[in-house]
Amino acid sequence: MFFGSDNTSPVHPKIMQALAKANEGYVSSYGADPIMEQVRDQVRNLFQAPDAAVYLVATGSAANALALATYCPPWGAVYCHKSSHIEVDECGAPEFYAGGAKLITIDGDHGKMRPEDLRKALEPLAHGDVHTVQPGIVSITNVTEMGTVYAPDEIAALCAIARDFGIPCHMDGARFANALQATGATPAKMTWKSGIDILSFGGTKNGLMAVEAVVIFDPAKAWEFELRRKRGGHLFSKHRYLSAQMNAYLQDELWLALAQHSNAMGSKLSKKISALADSTILHPTDANVVFANLPRAVHRKAQDAGAVYSLVPFYASLDGPGGELLPARLVCSWSTTDEDIDQLIDTFKI
Amino acid sequence: MFFGSDNTSPVHPKIMQALAKANEGYVSSYGADPIMEQVRDQVRNLFQAPDAAVYLVATGSAANALALATYCPPWGAVYCHKSSHIEVDECGAPEFYAGGAKLITIDGDHGKMRPEDLRKALEPLAHGDVHTVQPGIVSITNVTEMGTVYAPDEIAALCAIARDFGIPCHMDGARFANALQATGATPAKMTWKSGIDILSFGGTKNGLMAVEAVVIFDPAKAWEFELRRKRGGHLFSKHRYLSAQMNAYLQDELWLALAQHSNAMGSKLSKKISALADSTILHPTDANVVFANLPRAVHRKAQDAGAVYSLVPFYASLDGPGGELLPARLVCSWSTTDEDIDQLIDTFKI
Amino acid sequence: MFFGSDNTSPVHPKIMQALAKANEGYVSSYGADPIMEQVRDQVRNLFQAPDAAVYLVATGSAANALALATYCPPWGAVYCHKSSHIEVDECGAPEFYAGGAKLITIDGDHGKMRPEDLRKALEPLAHGDVHTVQPGIVSITNVTEMGTVYAPDEIAALCAIARDFGIPCHMDGARFANALQATGATPAKMTWKSGIDILSFGGTKNGLMAVEAVVIFDPAKAWEFELRRKRGGHLFSKHRYLSAQMNAYLQDELWLALAQHSNAMGSKLSKKISALADSTILHPTDANVVFANLPRAVHRKAQDAGAVYSLVPFYASLDGPGGELLPARLVCSWSTTDEDIDQLIDTFKI
Amino acid sequence: MFFGSDNTSPVHPKIMQALAKANEGYVSSYGADPIMEQVRDQVRNLFQAPDAAVYLVATGSAANALALATYCPPWGAVYCHKSSHIEVDECGAPEFYAGGAKLITIDGDHGKMRPEDLRKALEPLAHGDVHTVQPGIVSITNVTEMGTVYAPDEIAALCAIARDFGIPCHMDGARFANALQATGATPAKMTWKSGIDILSFGGTKNGLMAVEAVVIFDPAKAWEFELRRKRGGHLFSKHRYLSAQMNAYLQDELWLALAQHSNAMGSKLSKKISALADSTILHPTDANVVFANLPRAVHRKAQDAGAVYSLVPFYASLDGPGGELLPARLVCSWSTTDEDIDQLIDTFKI
């Protein structure tokens, strides 16, 4: 009963096979491996973006921070949701990589920014006044931190506002496959066709060992990104092992199948929880992440039974302050089974 | 005939097995995996340093830059050899991570700093004058970039000078195992017993996929290092796969056996080249990296035969400027075979 | 009728005389001038802080950013009011100097943080979790940006919370003299006796040409501050001219007399505005800065008559959106006269 | 007998008068003062550069660091002479402002870079290799730190090489007026006509209180410079007092007259020293800075008589190591008199 995070799950067997297959002979290092050429083509085809620059790094924080720094100057503001990973969970990596940029957060139900709130946040800095930081970039997380998903038209609405203010848009797609599966959108529609300039295209949470792609739709920024990646210590010497993972991930739509599964598990879990007495779902379960309010006694029983998941906030305690109901975050992954869910739901029943 | 770099070689089979073995079930992320506890113990035992803090990252540049930044303030000077990786090959990663520190280079034969030159370099900044950067840290590369090795007493002599000026010492041990094998020194003797405060303990070049440990002998610096690692985007979520590599690397002295082999290959290659007419070895071949001066015609013949290695500097060309002899760097790895060497030497014969 | 800012006012004649007097012969540069020795003693006596380190810089942004960077690590959070100068008006100088620190803002009526809100803001980061930035420093602005003043016990309440979380406190005292005059507190009581660790002690807004002192109550941080000042380009070669200004400012309580005058002018202006029909004062006028809601027609008449002051926000326009009443900020200075106020009030009458 | 530095000299009376004259009434702050408009025109006319952007800061380190950061990316290399102020005397300000750039130093007689050495230094990084920092900017100091002066054709030769490698050129003109007087060149010829992109145009050392202009010949970089200046804490609120100094400095060629005088004093001092027995001039005295080798006994006699100047290096001591002759740096300023020199030379005679 492991619902702590999709990053506690193992690596998919096909990825392990791809690593084994890549482990033969000598191969040029630092991204000059032949598999990376394939990956570049795969990603470009997938996104209908023949000129896109494609790079691999090993962590989501690296992908996000490098992407933001490439597009946002040190005196720029990064506009993002209050709950976003770049604001809350990266120990200031975006500020570090962007040379001291400022994150300006926007609240909004269920982890989503509303266009009007984004506009309102942008206005105070849009006057070319040297005393303030300048509008820098908008960063949109999809799947959001609350497990909800922006549809392409919602992305487009946010990007249109960014364009009004002359700034680019980043997507933190740590769970990009899940967002696609949830909406049925194409990768192109979810990104550049809606106005996204640069994408953190996650893999680790969805069955890889440690690979995220960064897709830059305007290749003019590619060289700067490469320098920033190297300078950040994120260019792998034995790069073929990153390439091999992403290569296998994109083959035969494995990535989409895995996301489809984890979304289905999320949906099932959500429905079963909402059917429980005294329990409520806190945000629409659009993908694989479920937020639910459960009675303390239920939490205690589940914990005693060995269920692993986080209270919200992560530092909350069953004996700590709060009401009778305590919110929890439960994450399904590519490896979550129907049995896992049934077993968890059983422990939730009192 | 692949002698381009030890990082073009594959991953050792035992490491692949360890990865496969680690790939079961759910495991806590971000370094809280049980294998990491073993690794911590392994490293502490190895270094006879029961209090040492041990961390894993995936690249040597990350290990070095994080280590230096943890010990050197933004206004500090990093003293290193002119040819050192941190000066030449990391696109300014140390400067980036240390908030704008200055690298001060020291020349010296065969990639080694001489104590008197280090002292001479330290003196101008040792006056507490606010107009200059301040002495920050000494960084010693072992194996050096020229393939030579510092013996423990040479390390101790450099560290003693650093101590005279009140600053700490870092070792870039991207090829640490090779340095140990070359000298017969214990890990403790090569590091903290000789005055090293923090070590980049390489694994990738010696058979791992992508893991370097950072060993901090004074645990007071551990928390700062953890924050810098996270902030740099170098804390892996599925950390168990880093742990598993290092765990297997240190088991049954695999790491030493691999280095012993690559050193032996280096030695053999060096001897065979020096026996060739018109060719000379440029630096003592203490480990697995060979520098040799070879006639242009020899290079051309070898290239035509498919031999892969670098000219020095890397951007030199067989048709470019220079004398009749052109220097080359040839690197052996854990997977280099006697046959590889024999074959290369054959192509070198005209 | 100049009420745009206290920094549009001229330099007090006594300061000009001091500059002229200092302009004789050769004097050691970079802070080694004899007048600086006097200034150091003056400030230490004033603050009953015989060990305090005292430095001069030329701008408030430099004072604040250097002070914050000296006490807050790159991965630290700076807690401040949403309207504070460091958040809104310094183009990210604190983030730049502190190597990418994050400002976390706290709202609160009339420009003041409430202790319970500060505590609530600190809690989420106080768990030693490596994924988040860490509690860094609390920065308190006195006089606040809304023209209100914290009394020493209010300062002490905020500092006590900071101490609970193990972090230091900074005071942005760009209008420090005005805050003292408003409360009758001693400099010591307003600062270190209430828990302030480092103070930006303003002079420019109160009659100087361009000098702010930074007072560090724990001299252990002095050398780091000096290096940061130099490295920031803020160490003056002809430093005697900074010293001379501060020396004259503190002599015979000139600084307090000037603040007393500007506070009295602020008070008078506030009272006269509140007596006008249709106009209201928006924040308590504790010092020399007045916020008032005035009818558009009144603004227009005043503007036509040549009155200079800012609408709020500064980019608002008489023809822009908003209600019938538009808020304005009116600042009195040491050189504001009774006649200036009477004349302005006349233009405000319709 | 004050020959320690031109920044120990006082402010010229005409500058003090200009400050007094500027000290009337209310004036817009932060560079929007009318005098700054005049200064902009003065500088543009002087440099025959009608589109140049012109900014004022208060220190030479600020001018240099902001200028370099505006043109050199964080992963760029700044090429400069080994003795240059930016390398030796600014506590890493360029590295700080440029986000961790690397200074690459070039040796050369008498403080000058030779074109062939610059070319040789540029070559290793000119290969678009992601592992190294990239060619960033060339910085030329005129007057050099050794008191010599580059003629315009020497500047042009260096800038031509920079152009060959696709990078811009900065001039550190802390003693720009002295360089012009020494060569008879026009400001335009010394800068943009020879290939300089951005100039630190010094005033402080030549009679001002604390003002340096930065002249950017391509106005496309102006806004970025403004943001960097503000963010660095170098935008003055009471900016009129910077403007007034530069305005008076440029009026009626005061700046050139002052430099002519200090150069003449330098020349006189140099000749008189070279006529002394046992003394030698170490570098051509092209401007106002004299380097001489003098016997220890002479130094001692001069010191006892109260002469103030620096030994080289600054931390050398009359009782310290070295030969019988010890080098010294003696700087003349706008206020040095014939009598000062005669008196110094008298103390030098044994």
Nearest CB among D75, D134, D231 relative to A75 is that of D231
> What is the residue-wise DSSP string for C238-256?
TTHHHHHHHHHHHGGGHHH
**What confidence category does residue A250 fall into, taking pLDDT thresholds of 50, 70 and 90?**
very high
Residue A165 has pLDDT above 90, yes or no: yes
Task: Give the containing element (helix H, strand E) for C187.
Answer: helix C187-190
Q: Check residue A1 and give its pLDDT.
A: 87
Residue A60 has pLDDT above 90, yes or no: yes
Mean per-residue pLDDT over chain A, rounded: 97
| Residue written as token pair 């049954």 | B252
d(CA D272, CA B26): 84
d(CA A328, CA A7): 17
pLDDT (mean) for D54-64: 98
Q: Do A95 and C100 touch (CB under 8 A)?
A: yes
B213 pairs with which residues across the strands? B56, B201
Nearest CB among B75, B131, B227 relative to C75 is that of B227
pLDDT (mean) for C18-29: 97
D202 pairs with which residues across the strands? D212
Q: Residues 72..111 of B with a Cβ closer than 8 Å to C: which?
A: 73-75, 99
Kindly give the residue spans of alpha helices, DSSP state H, lying in chain D. 13-22, 34-46, 60-71, 85-88, 93-97, 115-122, 152-164, 176-183, 187-190, 222-231, 240-250, 254-274, 296-304, 338-348
pLDDT (mean) for D7-14: 97
The residues near B308 (Cβ < 8 Å, ≥ 6 apart) are A26, B1, B2, B3, B4, B8
- C-alpha distance from residue D324 to each of A122, D298, D318 (Å): 69, 10, 10
Structure token digits, residue C226? 């000096």
Inform me whether the C-beta atom of residue C131 falls under 8 Å from chain B C-beta atoms.
Answer: yes
Radius of gyration of chain B (CA): 20
Q: Exposed, middle or buried, A334 (CB in 10 Å: 0-12/13-18/19+)?
A: buried
φ, ψ (nearest 5 deg) of residue B116: -70, -30
Q: Do C100 and A91 touch (CB under 8 A)?
A: no
**What confidence category does residue A347 fall into, taking pLDDT thresholds of 50, 70 and 90?**
very high
- C-alpha distance from residue A233 to each of A57, B100, B212 (Å): 10, 16, 12
Total Cβ atoms within 10 A of residue C343: 15
Inform me whether the C-beta atom of residue B32 falls under 8 Å from chain C C-beta atoms.
Answer: no
pLDDT (mean) for A110-130: 96
pLDDT (mean) for A171-185: 98
Q: Check residue B322 and give its pLDDT.
A: 86
Q: Residues 144..183 of D with a Cβ closer than 8 Å to C: which?
A: none
Q: Check residue D151 and give its pLDDT.
A: 98
Query: Three-state DSSP class for A331?
Result: strand
φ, ψ (nearest 5 deg) of residue A341: -70, -45
pLDDT in tens, C193-203: 999 999 999 99
pLDDT in tens, D65-80: 999 999 999 999 999 9
8-state DSSP, B21: H
Kindly give the residue spans of alpha helices, DSSP state H, lying in chain B. 13-22, 34-46, 60-71, 85-88, 93-97, 115-122, 152-164, 176-183, 187-190, 222-231, 240-250, 254-274, 296-304, 338-348
Residue C322 has pLDDT above 90, yes or no: no
Question: Which of these, C255, C252, C262, C65, lies nearest to C172 by C-alpha position?
Answer: C65
For β-strands B289-295 and A289-295, DSSP reports them as unpaired
pLDDT in tens, C205-222: 999 999 999 999 999 999
Q: Report the complex ipTM.
A: 0.97
- Residue type at position C20: A
Q: Check residue D322 and give its pLDDT.
A: 86
pLDDT (mean) for D208-232: 98
Radius of gyration of chain C (CA): 20
pLDDT in tens, C282-313: 999 999 999 999 999 999 999 999 999 999 99
CB contacts of C227 in chain D (<8 Å) are: 91
Q: Do B210 and A238 touch (CB under 8 A)?
A: yes
> What is the residue-wise DSSP string for C258-297?
HHHHHHHHHHHHHHHHHTSTT-EE-S---SSEEEEEEEHH
Q: Check residue B350 and give its pLDDT.
A: 83
Q: Check residue B16 and give its pLDDT.
A: 98
pLDDT (mean) for A121-128: 94
Q: Do A102 and C95 touch (CB under 8 A)?
A: yes
Question: Which of these, A312, D321, A216, A337, lies nearest to B123 by C-alpha position?
Answer: D321
Chain A: give the shortest CA distance to residue D237, in Å. Answer: 11
The residues near D331 (Cβ < 8 Å, ≥ 6 apart) are D3, D4, D5, D6, D266, D288, D289, D290, D309
Total Cβ atoms within 10 A of residue D318: 12
- C-alpha distance from residue D33 to each of A67, B247, C320, D37, D54 (Å): 40, 67, 27, 7, 14
| For residue C124, cis peptide bond before it (omega within 30 degrees of 0) | no
d(CA B287, CA B248): 23
Q: Do B131 and C30 touch (CB under 8 A)?
A: yes
> What is the residue-wise DSSP string for B160-181?
HHHHHTT--EEEEETTHHHHHH
Nearest CB among D74, D92, D314 relative to B92 is that of D74
Torsion of CA A44, A45, A49, A51, to 10 degrees: 50
Q: What angle do CA A294, A297, A300 make, to 5 degrees?
A: 95
pLDDT in tens, C234-274: 999 999 999 999 999 999 999 999 999 999 999 999 999 99
pLDDT (mean) for A54-62: 98
What's the farthest any 2 CA atoms get from each other in chain D?
61
Chain A: give the shortest CA distance to residue C338, in Å. Answer: 31
8-state DSSP, C201: E
| Residue written as token pair 């032996």 | B264
Closest-CA residue of D relative to B103 is: D102
Q: Do B30 and C130 touch (CB under 8 A)?
A: yes
- Residue type at position A235: L
Question: Which of these, C145, C129, C156, lies nearest to C178 by C-alpha position?
Answer: C145
Question: Which of these, D14, D7, D337, lies nearest to D204 by C-alpha position?
Answer: D7
Q: Residues 281..340 of C with a Cβ closer than 8 Å to B: which?
A: none
- Residue type at position C83: S
Q: Do D91 and B124 touch (CB under 8 A)?
A: no
**A86-104 b/e (C-beta count within 10 Å ≥ 16 → b):** bbbbbbbbbbbbbbbbbbb
Query: Three-state DSSP class for B259?
Result: helix
**The residue count for chain A:** 350
- C-alpha distance from residue B164 to each of A283, B106, B115, B161, D220 (Å): 61, 18, 12, 5, 50
Residue D147 has pLDDT above 90, yes or no: yes
Residue A275 has pLDDT above 90, yes or no: yes
Chain B: give the shortest CA distance to residue D104, in Å. Answer: 10
φ, ψ (nearest 5 deg) of residue C251: -75, 140
8-state DSSP, D308: B
Helices vs strands, H then E, count in chain B: 14, 11
Contact C49, C215 (CB under 8 A): yes
Residue C1 has pLDDT above 90, yes or no: no
Q: What angle do CA C89, C91, C96 make, to 5 degrees?
A: 130
Question: Which of these, B209, B4, B91, lies nearest to A28 by C-alpha position?
Answer: B4
Instruction: Chunk chain B into consecutive blocks of 10 residues (it has 350) and report each block's average pLDDT, rounded to whole numbers.
Output: 94 98 97 98 98 98 98 98 98 98 98 98 95 98 98 98 98 98 98 98 98 98 98 98 98 98 98 95 98 97 96 92 94 98 95
A331 pairs with which residues across the strands? A289
Q: Do A90 and B231 touch (CB under 8 A)?
A: yes
Inform me whether the C-beta atom of residue B17 falls under 8 Å from chain A C-beta atoms.
Answer: no
d(CA A193, CA A195): 6
Residue B331 CA from chain centroid, whole number:
13
